[in-house]
Amino acid sequence: MSLARVELRLILRSRLAAAALGLLFLLSALSIWSGLSAVDRQDATIARVTAEQARDLAAVAKEYGKPDGEAGYAAYYSFLLTHDRPSPLAFLALGQRDVQPAVLRVRALSLQQQLYESETLNAEQALPGVFDFAFVAIYLAPLVVIALTHDLVTGEREGGRLRLLLSMPGTGLWRRRIGLRYLLVALSLLTPAAVALVATGAPAMLGVGIMAVVSVYLAFWFGLSVLVASRVRASATAAAGSVGCWIVLTLLLPTLANAAIARAVPVSKGIDLTLAQREIVHHGWDIPKPATFDRFLATHPEWRGHETFKGRFHWKWLFAMHQVGDEAVAAQVAAYRASLLDRESWTVRLGWLLPNVAAQGVLHRLADTDLVAQLDYQDSIGAFHKELRSFFYPYLFLDRPFTRADFGLLPSYHARSGTASWPAIPMLLLLIVTGLILAANAVQIRGISRDDSR
């Protein structure tokens, strides 16, 4: 115990080590605050839009909810709210929530046109990314590890103390020094997160999972940094080598791999689906109405015999035309989603090679903020849109009046349940690699002990 206390004092007396640990703690706390603030803003937006939605719907009901009101007006002007509330762990790893909408108002017209309108965003604002706990743990914490371990062996050699330290057998010198530094880094990084998890009442198992992922990731970097530092004789060389590994593993290789994946699996933009659907709908104004109804009734045969009407316009023809537009781009939508999932699967495979990709993927999956969560939200919007159309069709095709009381029967959106879970990303491999690196460290340090004690 006394040796551990002495080692702790030596670490904290180092200005570099103390500053690095203090900075890591501060960055971790700031990232937690930033994540909680982002989640609070999204919750506040959902609450504000929900209140505005109620007022807007009340105004529409007052305007069009008459005893002889037309359902077409109600369906056209009634926007109903869907929302995707942040998961309990979203503040730790915001993931897709940084760029994807948390609320979307939809009506009974074409879904694709509404679903991807929010995809357009300011690229300059999206470029910096998000500052959250996952960013600090994946990208910044390894630099602190390097700062604390690059001179672990070489610093003692350069100071002329290495032979003296090696002359004290049975003290577990290197295990104690590495273990104590690992504990200090882990405490600096994880303490703010643990406090936030307890304060927010987040699920214990998922919180423990995030702690475990980050702990294993830190162990990997400790092992790699010590391995690099133990194979050279100068502290500056060790620091440069470790930083080079950080650049290659966290910046260079992921960037090149993402570029290769993007080139191998091209993905069209969602706005392209909107434009394709709009062209079909606009073309519907120029073709005979029976042609539109024939395509609509092929998928909605229950309304056959109710498609005819007098005059040049009827609301059921407009809504049928929009639904035909959605169905016409259904194959393109399926291809678009398949391409997104294909890219995601290749990113998962990339996790077999790059530990930061594996760890980040696990954090986003546990926080329910990855691509899978965003597609689940879109699926829930699609299910609600289908329910909304099914609600209005009897009024439209049977020419039933839509009164103010009918507004109270409108379907309500049911938010999707969170799907946070352990993903199929090879964290077990990261554990194995970390163990092998630590074992290599032990062999390397024993070699140092024999060489320097002669």
Helix, strand, coil tally for the chain in percent (to 5):
75, 0, 25
Q: What is the mean pLDDT of residues 354-375?
A: 89
Q: Is the pLDDT of residue 95 over 90?
A: no
**Is the pLDDT reported for residue 379 higher than 60?**
yes
pLDDT at 4: 67
Name which of 37, 24, 147 is nearest 90 in CA terms: 37
Residue 102 vs residues 13, 99, 169, 297, 381: alpha-carbon distances, Å:
47, 9, 60, 34, 12
Mean pLDDT of 56-73: 87
- Cα–Cα distance for residue pair 387/334, rounded to 1 Å: 20
pLDDT in tens, 184-211: 999 999 999 999 999 999 888 889 989 9
Average confidence score pLDDT of the chain = 83
**High-pLDDT (> 70) share of the chain, %:** 82
Q: What pLDDT does 231 receive?
A: 78
User: Phi and psi (nearest 5°) for 352?
Assistant: -70, -20
Least confident of 295-309, 310-324, 419-433: 419-433
pLDDT classification of 450: cutoffs 50, 70, 90: very low
Is pLDDT of 274 > 90? no
Q: Quick one: average pLDDT of 308-323?
A: 89
- Give the pLDDT of residue 454: 47
Q: State the pLDDT at residue 123.
A: 47
pLDDT reading at 165 higher than 70: no
Contact 11, 148 (CB under 8 A): yes
For residue 125, pLDDT over 70 is answered with no
Tell me the mean pLDDT in the region 379-397. Answer: 93
Q: Which helix (H) or strand (E) holds 256?
A: helix 253-264
What's the pLDDT score for residue 196?
A: 95
DSSP characters over 377-420 = HHHHHHHHHHHHHHHHHHHHHTT----HHHHTT-----PPPP--
* Position with higher pLDDT, 450 vs 137: 137
Q: What is the pLDDT of residue 171?
A: 54
pLDDT grade for 128, boundaries at 50, 70 and 90: low
Q: 250 vs 439, which has greater pLDDT? A: 250
Cα-trace Rg, the chain: 30
- Side chain identity at 236, as an amino acid letter? A
Residue 383 has pLDDT above 70, yes or no: yes
Q: 448 falls in which pLDDT band (50, 70, 90)?
A: low
pLDDT exceeds cutoff 60 at 393: yes
What pLDDT shows up at residue 252? 94
288: pLDDT strictly greater than 50: yes
pLDDT in tens, 76-89: 999 999 999 999 99
* Residue 90 DSSP label: T
Ramachandran angles phi, psi of 105, nearest 5°: -95, 130
| Structural element, H or E, at residue 104 | strand 103-106
Cα 13 versus chain centre, distance = 39
Of all residues in the chain, what percent carry a pLDDT higher than 90?
Answer: 38
CA distance 351 to 345: 10
pTM of the complete model:
0.87
Q: Which residues contact 380 (CB under 8 A, 6 or more apart)?
A: 82, 84, 413, 414, 415, 416
Q: What is the pLDDT of residue 223?
A: 84
